[in-house]
Chains A and B, each alone.
Chain A
Amino acid sequence: MQSKSTGRKVGIYALACAALAALSFAAEAQLRIRITSGVERPIPIAIVPFGWQGSGPSAPFDVTAVITADLGNSGRFAPLPERDMVSRPTEPAQVNFQNWRALQTDVLLIGQIAEEGAGRYAIVFQLFDVLRGEQLLGFRVTSSVDDLRATAHRIADMVFEELTGIPGVFGTRIAYVSEQRSGDVREYRLIVADADGENARVIAESRQPLMSPAWSPDGRRLAYVSFEGNQSAIYIQTLRTGNREVASRRAGINGAPSFSPDGRRLAVTLSQDGNLDIYTLDLSTQILRRITESPAIDTEPAWSADGESLFFTSDRAGGPQIYRVQAAPGARAERVTFEGTYNTRPRLSPDGRQLAIVHRDRNNDRIAVFDLQTRLLQVLSGGQLDESPSFAPNGAAIIYATRDGGQGVLAAVSADGRVHQQIAAVAGDVREPVWSPFALP
């Protein structure tokens, strides 16, 4: 079992092999995003190809394409195809709002990229309200060549937030598990990619199952479960270096890791005391506290926003339901879900008001959100084997795993259920997606 790092020094031969493997894998790991339904009236936006001022025929990176894909794939915008653009302004003086009104465009984004020096670029962009003929945003940003993709996502975030009022998540990442089978051999990989599926990087791989990835609140580490050596253990891996530590490899089951909001504790599921129960592990002192003590299966802990309590799955009442307990030994758990016979895998929304869960309805496992105030359950997805929901850090969407024609794929649904996306890997099954937090400044 290797954990890969992009920062380690290796021999030239090994490096070449790794590069080749990474290239071929990168093609296979590529996720394809497809909108299956968007909002009824997506905002018509024209994103005019940004102008280029520098050596060579074009900019080193197609910023316009990334912004267009981000906004289009969100399901809330309808980008105007380039071929329909009557004019191609790259600075405000060139804009004639009449042209755009005639095309029934509501919003116009234009910009320019200029070479500033060795490997440095300046991007200038403006966003206009076409109907009013007013500028909404105008910015200049500099970037190295390596950061142009991230800068494009940031521009898309700013446009998104300006027009919807919701912070964009185009600059965030997802982690997920990939499984590829050939004959009897199974390759499991834990992958981190940009939210649009690009830049996929294998951070762990194994011939034994990998599962339950969980982001640390600072987005720098991933906890996950690995079955290397025919035993489950929880690891915490630092993404930048690829180094990992064993968080728990106790006798029996080690599973379902979840970082507390302050990043200092890990909630875990252990069976060391006879059956599955929830514990909290202080990551600096290594002090383990037992939180549940029932003979039932108690697992899948998720922290409340204040780090004081845990939501979890328990079948102490017969079938699995969601419970809440204070994160202290001996605390009494109270049941949260009562509708339906099977409710599991709670994940709290960023605003702390809702739980995304797996809810079984007549033999279909679906993603639902449960409002902790109103106690109302709303089913958001429509598959048969939907699982592993994870909120985007802006709370506006939930990514989850499902199946399409026998292949494990990811999907996303907006929190109001209107926008649906499907995200399939080119090869193999993907599952257990977890959305990263916002990047720290």
Chain B
Amino acid sequence: MRSIVSLACLLAVFTLAACGGSNTIPESTGAVDPAASDPAASTRGADGGEFGDFEALDGPGGTPAALMDQLVVYFEFDSSEIRSDFNSMLAAHGQYLAGSRSAQVRLEGHADERGSREYNIGLGERRAQSVRQILLLQGATADQLSTVSYGEERPAAIGSDDEAYGLNRRVELVYR
């Protein structure tokens, strides 16, 4: 039962619904290993060896180092709202900045290619500002954060389909 609930929760995260599951279930959006979220799973290696049970971790999923490796926040169409699946990642960056006063990060906001270019500069800026707000709340100071918006001018993914659009609606954290 619990394993089905936890797998369903992960799927729900991917379809962007809030998941109010147990806090022992990781909710990061890094590459998902279903086995890692299922405390009762065990897997069989290719050479026939068997791994032990995975134990769920307390607190935010993944180590702080893994979260700090995540440098991109993605957004919904026409939105600058931070999805809950980025909370842990931004918390990790905010706490890092709070603890390292000399660290500086540039928040680069982007939009997908639909619509006019200067309006998209505005959307990218709004997204960068959203991320900036969260980082300030998490302990960063204003002089550690700068923002720039590239609108649709520097896409991460070339293409005119939803997948490319999703990859382009983003804020990148660029440590200086």
Contact = CB atoms under 8 A, between A and B. Distances in A.
Given A299-B118, A319-B78, A358-B115, 20 more contacts: A211-B118, A211-B151, A227-B150, A232-B121, A252-B147, A269-B118, A276-B122, A297-B123, A297-B126, A299-B119, A300-B119, A344-B119, A358-B116, A360-B114, A360-B115, A365-B114, A365-B115, A385-B113, A387-B116, A406-B160
B149 interface: yes
B125 A253 contact: yes
B115 A342 contact: yes
A297 B106 CA distance: 21
B154 interface: yes
Residue of B119, B121, B123, B149 most packed against chain A (CB within 10 A): B119
B125 A271 contact: yes
Nearest to A229: B148
22 contacts: A186-B154, A209-B153, A211-B117, A212-B117, A212-B118, A230-B106, A230-B148, A252-B125, A255-B118, A297-B122, A299-B122, A300-B116, A300-B119, A320-B115, A320-B119, A358-B116, A360-B115, A384-B160, A385-B113, A385-B160, A387-B115, A388-B117
Interface in A229-245: 230-232
Interface in A201-234: 209, 211-212, 227, 230-232
Contacts of B129: 275
Interface residues of A, number: 36
A249 interface: no
Interface string B99-116: 000000010000001111
Given A385-B113, A385-B114, A231 B119 contact: no
The 10 A-B residue pairs whose C-beta atoms are closest, nearest first, are A297-B122, A209-B153, A345-B116, A344-B116, A256-B118, A276-B122, A299-B118, A300-B118, A358-B116, A344-B119
Contacts of A252: 125, 147
Nearest to A271: B125
Nearest to A346: B116
Contacts of A269: 118, 121-122
B118 A345 contact: yes
Interface string B111-146: 001111111011101100100000000000000000
A403 B158 CA distance: 13
Given A209-B153, A385-B113, A232 B118 contact: no
Contacts of A344: 115-116, 119
Contacts of A212: 117-118
Interface in B72-113: 78, 106, 113
A211 B125 contact: no
A143 to B, nearest CB: 40
B149 A253 contact: yes
Contacts of A209: 150, 153-154
Residue of B114, B121, B153 most packed against chain A (CB within 10 A): B121
B148 A231 contact: yes
Interface in A363-377: 365
Contacts of A230: 106, 148
Given A271-B125, A385-B160, A313 B119 contact: yes
B71 to A, nearest CB: 16
A196 interface: no
Given A209-B150, A231-B148, A432 B118 contact: no
Contacts of B154: 186, 209
Contacts of A313: 116, 118-119
A319 B115 CA distance: 12
A299 B115 contact: no
Nearest to A363: B114
A279 to B, nearest CB: 14
Nearest to A179: B153
A388 B113 CA distance: 13
A350 B159 CA distance: 35
A432 B148 CA distance: 21
Given A232-B121, A297-B123, A297-B126, A227 B116 contact: no
Nearest to B106: A230
Residue of A232, A269, A275, A388 most packed against chain B (CB within 10 A): A232
A276 B120 CA distance: 11
Contacts of B78: 319
A179 to B, nearest CB: 9
Contacts of A432: 117
A430 to B, nearest CB: 14
B79 to A, nearest CB: 12
Interface in A326-356: 342, 344-345
Contacts of B159: 406
B11 to A, nearest CB: 27
A387 B115 CA distance: 7
A190 to B, nearest CB: 13
A432 B152 CA distance: 13
Nearest to B124: A253
A319 B125 CA distance: 16
A319 B106 CA distance: 28
A57 to B, nearest CB: 49
Nearest to A320: B119
A299 B113 contact: no
A269 B119 CA distance: 10
A313 B115 CA distance: 12
A388 B116 contact: yes
